[in-house]
Amino acid sequence: MKHTVLLMLLPMALSGFVVTGCEQGQKAEKVSPAVLKKYSKATTLEGVVSNNKGVIKTGRVEVTDESGRLITHAAVDSGHYSIEIPANTILPILLTFSSESGEKLVAAVIHDSITRYEINPSSTAIAKAAKAMGGYTHANMIRAAEDTAHVPDANKTTTGWRGDPTTQYGGWH
């Protein structure tokens, strides 16, 4: 009886060594590095700056990298801004509006193909939420937009959104 039990356990024990040997022989998968996004040529970004009261007529929009280094800036004229981003500027970048009254609003730019960005309280909330989630990635920006944007009941369906809640991460449109 002891020999029978040993004979039954022996193949199980040996299979553990074989599996272990196979696992050691496997090579770890290579993780591809993150794709670096940047503007390949000078690009003009434009949009409107507003708060909960409406369009903000004057102020300044600064473009900075994630570490806060100033890249360029432009004045806001009648609520509109237009700013040229130099070639080879690495994304993400932040568009930060400030006014003489101390109001600050932000929009995060992560795509080199989008040129219109609204800067408002929704874009500010989304940028802050994405940063808190780990940074300005596409996935974090989408998740932050879905979590922070108010969707009117008339625009909801039983299967989800009717439309795009992000408007380039600036809120519901």
Q: 110-156 pLDDT, tens per residue?
A: 999 999 999 999 999 999 999 999 999 999 999 999 887 665 655 55
Q: What is the pLDDT of residue 163?
A: 53
- Ranges in the chain, pLDDT < 50: 1-32, 161, 172-173
As its CATH architecture, domain 43-161 has: Sandwich (2.60)
Q: What is the pLDDT of residue 36?
A: 83
Q: Residue 119 class from Cβ within 10 Å (0-12 exposed, 13-18 middle, 19+ buried)? A: buried
Q: Could you tell me if 89 and 110 are in contact, meaning their C-beta atoms sit under 8 angstroms apart?
A: no
Q: Could you tell me if 16 and 58 are in contact, meaning their C-beta atoms sit under 8 angstroms apart?
A: no
Q: What is the pLDDT of residue 168?
A: 53
Q: What is the pLDDT of residue 165?
A: 52
Q: What is the pLDDT of residue 27?
A: 47
Q: Does pTM surpass 0.85?
A: no
Q: Residue 31 class from Cβ within 10 Å (0-12 exposed, 13-18 middle, 19+ buried)? A: exposed
Q: Could you tell me if 148 and 126 are in contact, meaning their C-beta atoms sit under 8 angstroms apart?
A: yes
